[in-house]
Amino acid sequence: MAIEIRNIITRESLSGYDMGFLKRPEFGGWRIEEDTARLIGRACEEFKPRHVLEFGTGLSTLVLANEASKGNVERIWSVDHLKDFPGHPRGIIGKDGPVEFCHLPIRFTTSAGKLFQFYSVTEDFLKKVGPIDLVIIDGPPYYYNSREASLYKVYPYLSKDAVILLDDAGRKGREEVYLSNWKRYFGDKIETNIFLKEFKKGLAYVRPVDANGKISGFKAIERIKDSSKTIKYELLRILRYMRDRLVRRAG
């Protein structure tokens, strides 16, 4: 699937995707941009992923639900730390639709020897969702600086042809760092591609390269050295960040 993603990232292909199912859509800001929404829709039309997992509920959820209504997607799990918010797609899709809305609060968690504030996903949850064909990463919010954790969490549960789409890939202090860290951690077990000019906020895709898509096959745990020191460092970094935010707020 990922090999052909590049082929549908053309102005003609994306502009041809019908967005008429969205009622007065508002793009940008906290929401995905229109070009990203069109790519998600076209990818579903073209490759028909069975199981889709998204981090960050919103407009992308409506696009995925629309594709499910056309038979292009079987099941969607939409994860968010907020149970409800203005414009939540549950009001449009309904409780009996193809989307399972998963309220998973943000908690401290360790992945790849690092400490993150990430959605409280569990192994049982990911086993239920897997094998995952498409992952869309548009959360947690940027100020948690924790989207890097997503690939570490989901990798063992990916299908062999899975694709991971990372929104906001143009942010040099965030998503570009995540891509670099993923490549350093997984090595030649993943392929990464980034599109900065083609998408307003930048977009990247990642795919597993090994035959069965399982992280356990190359003993990734051996890449974690002196993890206790790493976790302490990450905790200090997060605490400093939270302190600085409080200081700015007070000022």
Q: Which of 76, 73, 39, 75 is nearest to 165 (CA)?
A: 39
pLDDT digits (tens, 9 = 90+) for 43-96: 898 889 999 999 998 888 999 998 999 999 999 999 988 876 666 666 667 677
The confidence score (pLDDT) of residue 230 equals 52
The confidence score (pLDDT) of residue 144 equals 86
CB neighbour list of residue 101: distance below 8 Å, 6 or more residues apart: 57, 78, 80, 90
Q: Which two tokens stand for residue 51?
A: 């199981």
Q: Report CA torsion sign: 196, 198, 202, 205.
A: negative
Q: For the whole model, what pTM was predicted?
A: 0.77
The confidence score (pLDDT) of residue 159 equals 93
Q: Which residue has the higher pLDDT, 3 or 131?
A: 131
The confidence score (pLDDT) of residue 241 equals 60
The confidence score (pLDDT) of residue 67 equals 93
The confidence score (pLDDT) of residue 160 equals 87
Weakest mean pLDDT among 26-35, 108-117, 156-165, 198-207: 26-35
Q: Which residue has the higher pLDDT, 125 or 160?
A: 125
To the question of domain 2-226 being in CATH 3.20.20.70, the answer is no
Domain boundaries defined on the chain:
2-226
The confidence score (pLDDT) of residue 30 equals 56
pLDDT digits (tens, 9 = 90+) for 201-250: 888 889 898 655 443 322 332 333 344 445 555 566 666 666 666 666 66
- How far is 205 from 7, CA to CA, in rounded Å? 13
CB atoms inside a 10 Å sphere around CB 42: 20
Burial of residue 147, with CB atoms counted within 10 A of its CB: 0-12 exposed, 13-18 middle, 19 or more buried: buried
| Ranges assigned E (strand) in the chain | 51-55, 75-80, 99-103, 106-111, 114-119, 132-137, 158-167, 190-195, 203-208
Are 74 and 170 spatial neighbours (Cβ–Cβ below 8 Å)? Answer: no
Answer whether residue 29 shows pLDDT above 60.
Answer: no
In the predicted model, what is the mean pLDDT of residues 165-169? 87
Answer whether residue 127 shows pLDDT above 60.
Answer: yes
